Structure 1
Amino acid sequence: MSHIDTLRIAERFTGLSAEQRRVVYDKIRTQGLGIGQFPILKRTDSQLSTCSPSYAQLRQWFLWRLDPESSAYHITGALTLKGLLDTDALRGSFAALISRHETLRTVFRDDGDGEVMQVLQAESNFSLHEVDLGHMPKGERESAIESQVDQLCNAPFDLEQGPLLRVGLLHLAEEKHLLVVVMHHIVSDGWSMQLIIDEFAAGYSSRVTGEDWQPPALPIQYADYALWQRQWMEAGEKERQLSYWQVELGDEHPILQLPTDHPRRNDGHYYAARYHMVLSEPLISRLRTQTKLRVPPCL
């Protein structure tokens, strides 16, 4: 089936009622087609400011309502900036990011009927958190930095009011700064963090040097994907995927008993550590070969 054909079906599918979508879904399944073969379309004008969340966002909303103070689903990253810093250019770069990516100015509201909707704001109430630590004695500065980073990363987000992007700028010396970026998982993920950092760096550089840099236009936004996912899932894809996993996982799910040296904390907060291991080149080579053999050709 050509791209034009799948595009035509996708456009027709979007305009159908829920019952009609199920009929179309059953038909394309009999033809051996999957939802991944149909493009994600821009949502209609009536859904530009308010639309349903994705299933992943729905899970995050439930978990947040269960424990609004939790920081378990905060996505964090930090950059050390060396050299003279143009704070106005830095603010402008994040303002451009928020303008370009709808998800960075999205909040979530209860619709009054037990459902949640994502609300895409025209403007964000984002503000840059600046703290000057350069005047502090070196012995006190490290603990102050740790305290500021902890506060930025663990302060709870309000999913109903936003913003769900938090940026802190710690001035450590005249030519040394720490940039801390925190987002709630309901609007981001680990892969997105790198995109945000890369786009910020390119935007900041262009503002400082005066170069003309314009990122390519985004063909779709995350809200477009959320609508696409919900329409296909409700048409029958949800039942297909559920059936697959029920077969794969079976009906019995025994509790995994792992030995621990102390009881798990009730509040869900734990200290983590990082362990470094150096693998030999022959072992790395064999691992890469094994990985290639296991990846299906279609991927």
Structure 2
Amino acid sequence: MTTDSSDSMKDTLPIGPLQEGIWLFWRLNQASPAYMMPEIFHFEGEFDTAAVEFAFNEVIRRHESLRTTFRETDSGVVQVIARDPEPVPVHVVDLRGLPEAERSGRLQATIDAASNRPFDLATEPAIRLTAVQVTDSRTTLALVVHHIACDGISMTVVLDEFGELYRSARRGTPPDLAPVPRGYSTFVQGQLAALADGTLKEEEAYWRERLAGVTGSVLPGIDHAVTRAPTSLDTAVVSLTLDDQLAESLSAYARRTRSTQFSVLLSTMKVMIAAATGDGVKALGMATSGRTPEFARTVGMLANMIVIQSRIDLSRTFTDTLDEVSLDLMDAIDHQALPFSRMVTDLNTGQDPGAGIVRMLFSAGAVGRLKLGEGKLSEVITRTVQGPFDMYVACDISPSGIALDWEYALRTYSPELAQGYCAAYHEVLATLLRQPDVPMASLGLTELLARVAGLPHGDATTAGHGSPAAQPDRSADTGPAADAPDSGLTPVEEAVAAIWSEAIRVPVESPYDDFFELGGHSLKAGAVVASVRKRISRTATLRLLFDHPQLRDFASRLDVGDQTDGASARH
């Protein structure tokens, strides 16, 4: 990081690799409010404007990305971080003097305007707050951050700290906050160093091969252009909450198949698109987090996008399909360190990196919570304009339930078709979970889509008549177990066993212990593989663990000559 010669109170560094695609989109579409992240809350109670202004600006002061602007130079785009920024005013709109009949319309208009007014990323911080005083006891807050400065997990940090700072100002006591976390500039410098020193060559080769010739998949849209005014809202949201019985069926099936709830939801979407399009090769985008523990509370754009490509053959069972999609997902996550803009550098000649490769995003959403103390707070979903994808589905999976928010582009879907797809997804999921082990082609999925979504029957055809995707041959994994018993562990096996035991909280003593039979599952597998890669060998992957879950089988396939901590393998 360097000091800006024009202002000793500013620091500059190159734009982050995860910000490059967002910047390019903004540079070419400066009037577009795409990549806006609005959070809207209605507050019932005594509202303290001074406390809000303090909390808002203190959050900005704590996080570099919220006091950053961007500038084009001869050597490229740089981000300029203000060390001691001027206070950012909270925009206050007072509707209390209006007749009651007018307030509702004016409130919604104010929310829409605040949520969709574009940022000038070259001159202003990528965050703003609007407070709408509706009555003496009711206030609406519209907090908006641009995605170039904040991802979903970052928003949860912003809301958490904003709430604590507001409450502390009201109490007149110091806030109960951890020290300021590592700045986003440190994360960016680490990514740039990894790209420069060749650390990510394996990831570059993987994505170059994986994405060659790939076209993004999406549910079929309307067959005619939508006529709309330039100022009309271009995206809308449909929310789907699974009923308790279906949510429990999904959870039980995920446990039984040693999978995750998200993998089941993702596989269902891929099957639904295959049934609707007749195309068996599906490629969906998914947001992932590049956070390590040291950046757990860092605010910035740390989310990357990966592409999950699978071959869907409806003549196979859903259980087989889930197995393959889960492995495709793990493969992609294993190579997530390469920023998406660099994944597609050699694959595009257009101005928008990745255009055509990702048309639909399917991700697990991060849910933020705001607590202001006194009073009653409720969150509402607002509409945004001109989303960058044809469809974006965010899955909220929590102990209280499973919900999916569908944001769809009106340039591609009518509201009726989007509503129909949302309802059809619920039915497709229920159908697949009822009969996961019969050929999907026999389940009437195309007829279901025609009936529920209103999709013309001729558009929904059986997909995937090509060769079925190869299944892992787990029968070969039993070879070592057939040998004479041998309870002794090699040094590498001991090191792996220690990591497994630490993760699943049970002893791992035999070379033929199976990670999943001992109680391991997909979520713990990710942590285990990360530890093995750090302490024993970089060649460990999720797919390797799923294909070879026995201790000796897994350990024998690790290249310990590539280990990063040789001592770990000699414990």
**TM tier, smaller:** 0.7 to 0.9
Q: Cα distance 1:54–1:110, how it changes in 2: closer, same or farther (>3 A)?
A: same
Which residue, out of 2, 6, 16, partners 1:54?
16
1:259 and 2:220 matched: yes
Q: Which residue matches 1:297?
A: 525
- Provide the rounded CA distance (Å) in 2 between the counterparts of 1:204 and 1:109: 33
Unaligned stretches of 5+ in structure 1?
Answer: 1-42
Q: Which residue matches 1:220?
A: 182
- Provide the rounded CA distance (Å) in 2 between the counterparts of 1:145 and 1:240: 52
SS across alignment from 1:227: helix
Q: Which residue matches 1:164?
A: 126
Kept after mapping to 2: 8 A contact 1:170/1:179: yes
Which residue, out of 32, 45, 48, partners 1:83?
45
| Deviation for aligned residue 1:190 | 1.8
Which residue, out of 252, 258, 261, partners 1:286?
252
| Deviation for aligned residue 1:170 | 0.3
Q: Cα distance 1:219–1:194, how it changes in 2: closer, same or farther (>3 A)?
A: closer
Kept after mapping to 1: 8 A contact 2:72/2:78: yes
* Offset from partner CA, 1:188-211 (integer Å, 9 cap, x none): 112211211111111111111122
* Offset from partner CA, 1:54-76 (integer Å, 9 cap, x none): 11112221111110011111111
1:205 and 2:167 matched: yes
Kept after mapping to 2: 8 A contact 1:124/1:163: no
- Provide the rounded CA distance (Å) in 2 between the counterparts of 1:255 and 1:52: 30
Q: Which residue matches 2:81?
A: 120
Q: Cα distance 1:252–1:60, how it changes in 2: closer, same or farther (>3 A)?
A: closer
Q: Cα distance 1:298–1:261, how it changes in 2: closer, same or farther (>3 A)?
A: closer
- Provide the rounded CA distance (Å) in 2 between the counterparts of 1:256 and 1:213: 47
**Higher relative helix content:** 1
- Provide the rounded CA distance (Å) in 2 between the counterparts of 1:255 and 1:96: 41
Paired letter, 2:239: Y
Which residue, out of 64, 73, 91, partners 2:35?
73
Which residue, out of 215, 239, 250, partners 1:275?
239
Q: Cα distance 1:159–1:45, how it changes in 2: closer, same or farther (>3 A)?
A: closer
| Deviation for aligned residue 1:287 | 4.8
SS across alignment from 1:157: coil
> 1:226-237 to 2 correspondence within 5 Å?
226-237=188-199
Which residue, out of 186, 202, 215, partners 2:148?
186
TM-score, normalised to structure 2's length? 0.42
Paired letter, 1:286: A
SS across alignment from 1:261: coil
1:149 and 2:111 matched: yes
- Provide the rounded CA distance (Å) in 2 between the counterparts of 1:167 and 1:223: 24
* Offset from partner CA, 1:229-248 (integer Å, 9 cap, x none): 00111111343211112343
For structure 1, which segment, 234-243 or 223-232, has the greater mean C-alpha deviation from structure 2 after superposition?
234-243
Q: Which residue matches 1:37?
A: none
Aligned residue-pair number: 255
SS across alignment from 1:237: coil
- Provide the rounded CA distance (Å) in 1 between the counterparts of 2:136 and 2:216: 55
- Provide the rounded CA distance (Å) in 2 between the counterparts of 1:187 and 1:91: 20
Paired letter, 1:246: R
| Deviation for aligned residue 1:269 | 6.0
Paired letter, 1:78: I
Kept after mapping to 2: 8 A contact 1:53/1:227: no
SS across alignment from 1:89: helix
Q: Which residue matches 2:494?
A: none
Q: Cα distance 1:62–1:124, how it changes in 2: closer, same or farther (>3 A)?
A: farther
Kept after mapping to 2: 8 A contact 1:80/1:179: yes
Paired letter, 1:138: E
* Offset from partner CA, 1:3-52 (integer Å, 9 cap, x none): xxxxxxxxxxxxxxxxxxxxxxxxxxxxxxxxxxxxxxxx6878971111
* Offset from partner CA, 1:124-180 (integer Å, 9 cap, x none): 452111001122223221111111011111111001101211100000111110111
Which residue, out of 34, 46, 59, partners 1:97?
59
For the aligned residues, what is the CA RMSD? Answer: 2.6
- Provide the rounded CA distance (Å) in 2 between the counterparts of 1:287 and 1:201: 38
Kept after mapping to 2: 8 A contact 1:168/1:180: yes
Kept after mapping to 2: 8 A contact 1:98/1:105: yes
Q: Cα distance 1:220–1:167, how it changes in 2: closer, same or farther (>3 A)?
A: same
Q: Cα distance 1:139–1:269, how it changes in 2: closer, same or farther (>3 A)?
A: closer
Paired letter, 2:220: P
Kept after mapping to 2: 8 A contact 1:51/1:117: yes
SS across alignment from 1:56: coil
- Provide the rounded CA distance (Å) in 2 between the counterparts of 1:257 and 1:100: 40
Unaligned stretches of 5+ in structure 2?
Answer: 262-520, 528-571
Paired letter, 1:275: S
Paired letter, 1:228: G
SS across alignment from 2:42: strand
